[in-house]
């Protein structure tokens, strides 16, 4: 049986449970390709899985990672037109923190020649999230006023850019002065600190002081503040709980204010190979024409994955962290 190096863990816990070691390599199956990984994206979901907050299927050793890019090493039968040497990326394939990844053909996204493995690993998951949030959950239009929580984070910076691209005024929320620079560099018209009375400041910033059109809330514990910051007939899109569980929402408040609450989960939107490729191609195209910019990702060797986890958990990082075998 062939072997490979992978970042693995046997028990749940802190970054120290991760180790880089030799394990059996996956074997190609019908409808799959075996991909030699060139770069993997690190996401907060990987930390939740390592801690045991998210359920993991199978038995240890567990391998984290869902997003990456590389070169097809072997194509199984029924793998469509995919063949050895093809460059592909993916955003929803488990066990990506390894030298070799088994990728279902329907989840393989062809990588254009002018898009690097590192860029694909840095943009796909968070880029597709920002894409469906601004296109499907609430379709941002010219003249909208948009509130983006955690505007200096990976999804936050992309949300700011896509909302601006669609003609909106954008107000970012950030947790430190350092992060203000990242939010403004991404194109936010203004950025407010969480510690301040940001709800009143956000309403005052909006045209006529009536509140914003939509709030994108990935923090959770701020949900009721997001409702207070949007105008009558405004919308709140709730898509994460980085700051803790949200309060329960009284439907009578929604009725009295004609406000809308929408939940967002990427996997309800990216449901077919065609849809994956369409969204990815738009993102790659916007990167190519410069209307979408990516902060240079911070790269760690896969062997130093524990250090990468520590940096992401510290919340001191802005932009994307990637792992390179």
The confidence score (pLDDT) of residue 27 equals: 95
pLDDT tens track, the chain, 325 positions? 799 999 999 999 999 999 999 999 999 999 999 999 999 999 988 998 999 888 777 888 999 999 999 999 999 999 999 999 999 999 999 999 999 999 999 999 999 999 999 999 999 999 999 999 999 999 999 999 999 999 998 899 999 999 999 999 999 999 999 899 999 999 999 999 998 899 999 999 999 999 999 999 999 999 999 999 999 999 999 999 888 899 999 999 999 999 999 999 998 999 999 999 999 999 999 999 999 998 889 999 999 999 999 999 887 776 789 999 9
Whether the CB-CB separation of 169 and 145 falls below 8 Å is answered with yes
The confidence score (pLDDT) of residue 299 equals: 97
The confidence score (pLDDT) of residue 265 equals: 92
**Per CATH, which fold does 3-124+270-324 belong to?**
Quinone Oxidoreductase; Chain A, domain 1 (3.90.180)
Fold match, 3-124+270-324 / 142-263: no
Read off the pTM: 0.91
Nearby residues of 138 by Cβ (< 8 Å), 6 or more positions away: 214, 235, 237, 262
The confidence score (pLDDT) of residue 282 equals: 96
- Map tokens 């799959």 to a residue: 32
Please report, for the chain, the start and end positions of each structural domain, with discontinuous segments joined by +.
3-124+270-324, 142-263
Surface-to-core class of residue 45, CB atoms within 10 Å of its CB (0-12 exposed, 13-18 middle, 19+ buried)? middle
CATH no. for 142-263: 3.40.50.720
Whether the CB-CB separation of 95 and 62 falls below 8 Å is answered with no
């Amino acid at each position: 049986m062939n072997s490979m190096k992978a970042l693995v863990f046997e028990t749940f816990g802190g970054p120290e449970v991760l180790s880089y070691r030799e394990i059996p390599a996956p074997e190609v199956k019908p409808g799959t390709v075996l991909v030699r990984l060139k770069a993997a994206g690190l996401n907060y979901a990987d930390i939740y899985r390592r801690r045991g907050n998210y359920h993991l299927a199978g038995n240890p050793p567990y391998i984290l990672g869902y997003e990456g890019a590389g070169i097809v090493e072997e194509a199984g039968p029924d793998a469509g037109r995919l063949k050895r040497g093809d460059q592909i990326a993916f955003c929803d394939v488990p066990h990506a923190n390894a030298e070799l990844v088994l990728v279902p053909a329907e989840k393989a996204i062809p990588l254009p020649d002018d898009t690097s493995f590192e860029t694909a690993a840095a943009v796909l998951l968070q880029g597709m999230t920002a894409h469906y949030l601004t296109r499907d959950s609430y379709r941002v239009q010219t003249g909208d006023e948009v509130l983006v929580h955690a505007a200096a984070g990976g999804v936050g910076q992309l949300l700011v850019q896509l909302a601006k691209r669609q003609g909106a005024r954008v107000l970012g929320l950030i947790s430190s002065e350092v992060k203000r620079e990242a939010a403004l560099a991404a194109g936010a018209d203004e950025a407010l600190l969480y510690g301040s009375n940001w709800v009143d400041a956000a309403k005052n910033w909006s045209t006529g002081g009536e509140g914003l059109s939509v709030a994108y809330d990935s923090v959770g514990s701020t949900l009721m503040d997001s409702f207070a910051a949007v105008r009558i007939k405004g919308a709140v899109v709730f898509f994460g709980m980085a700051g803790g569980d949200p309060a329960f929402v009284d439907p009578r408040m929604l009725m009295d204010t004609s406000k809308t609450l929408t939940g967002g989960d990427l996997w309800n939107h990216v449901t077919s190979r065609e849809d994956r490729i369409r969204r990815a191609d738009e993102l790659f195209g916007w990167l190519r024409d410069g209307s979408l910019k990516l902060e240079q990702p911070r790269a760690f060797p896969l062997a130093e994955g524990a250090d990468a986890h520590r940096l992401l958990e510290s919340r001191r990082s802005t932009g994307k962290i990637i792992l390179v075998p």
